[in-house]
Amino acid sequence: MRTMPTLHGARVHIRPYQHSDLPGIVQLFDDSTDLAALSPAVHERRTAWLAWVSANHEQLARLDQPPYGDRALVLTESNTYIGSVGLVPCLDVYGQAGIGPDDGRTRAEMGLFWMVHPNYQRQGYATEAGQLLVRYAMDELRIERVIATTDYDNHASQAVMRKLGMDIRRNSQATPPWLQLVGVYEAWMEPEQFPDGTFIRSIVESDLDEMMALWRDAPLRISPTDTPTGLRRHIALSGRFALALCAADGAIIGTVLGSDDGRRGWINHLAVRHDHQHNGYGARLVQALVARLTAAGCEKLNLLVVNNNAHVVPFYESLGFALDDNLFMARWLRTV
């Protein structure tokens, strides 16, 4: 059975609800510390909710379902209940926020949620709880992706998402009104560190301006498809293969946009900032992409070199690529 164990962090732990949590629940949801002062209707509603969430994890486990639902967030040192957190099923048109194709279809995702009592906010407890849940979802449930949603003006939740390492994506359309910002965390977003202080991580939407500036500096030929819309679409569909090489201070010094069409992998837009070239960074990016494509089951990797950039052919040959005699043809699907 898929039963979530108690998750232990440095300062908090996450456990199933207990009947003794009722006073904390009332304080969290009703801003009251006096159970006797509650109206009978509110007291009945909270008691029923507690009974439901207390049994929920056991019933889902018996059905071999994911461990969805509320868990109690508790300070470990004092055993104080401070909030409600957990994993939830989410259903929406997430393609509009750059998660998969934007084809108007509704998709299911696994989401995080957290609600911390105001007395314990802005102390890092929501972030610590989120880290515990992300690690459990990735390592134990083997979930590919975890999301969280929030509103444009909920800066506190956005801050937690950033601390969790999420890529925050904006709904490209005005509807539905409740789908505004989506934080996305995927296992392949974790950076790969190198002894010289540089690291490789996945490209996220907030990188687009810095990435375009790097391409112009490299210099790299900018395609008509290198628009914010086109690049967001690439990240949505091939995000695990869109890589940035960063200096120790986080500045992007190299990029490669890879993709996998199901039969072959492709390399596009390999570029290293002009003042960081000839340090082996281009090879480092290619090797990282090759490792990811190989892990995904890709058996062949292709790339194209434009005629006026033929001087890079020896570089690619040194990495195991060979010239092919195929002709390249293209057709534009829209006016550029």
* pTM higher than the cut 0.75: yes
pLDDT at 206: 86
Bridge pairing between strands 192-193 and 69-75:
unpaired
E-strand ranges in 54-208 read 69-75, 80-92, 107-116, 145-150, 167-170, 181-186, 192-193, 199-202
Paired strand residues for 113? 86
> Which tokens belong to 23?
């006073």
**Domain limits, the chain:** 7-188, 196-318
pLDDT in the model for residue 32:
84
pLDDT of residue 75: 98
Helices (H), the chain: 22-30, 40-62, 125-135, 155-163, 208-217, 228-238, 281-295, 313-318
DSSP 186: E
Query: What pLDDT is attached to residue 243?
Result: 96
pLDDT in the model for residue 266: 95
User: How much is the pLDDT for 251?
Assistant: 95
Assess if CATH 3.30.1330.40 describes domain 196-318.
Answer: no
Crossing angle (nearest 10°) for helices 40-62 and 22-30:
110
What pLDDT score was predicted for residue 336? 61
Q: What is the pLDDT of residues 128-170, one digit of tens each?
A: 999 999 999 999 999 999 999 999 999 999 999 999 989 999 9
Q: What integer pLDDT is reported at residue 154 of this predicted model?
A: 96
CATH class of the structural domain 7-188: alpha beta
Give the pLDDT of residue 1. Answer: 64
Query: What are the pLDDT tens digits along the chain (336 aa)?
Result: 688 999 999 999 999 999 999 999 999 999 888 888 889 999 999 999 999 999 998 999 999 999 999 999 999 999 999 999 999 999 999 999 999 889 999 999 999 999 999 999 999 999 999 999 999 999 999 999 999 999 999 999 999 999 998 999 999 999 999 999 999 999 888 889 999 999 999 998 889 999 999 999 888 888 888 988 889 889 888 988 999 999 999 999 999 999 999 889 999 999 999 999 999 999 999 999 999 999 889 999 999 888 778 889 999 999 999 998 888 888 888 776
Between CA 256 and CA 62 the distance in angstroms is 46
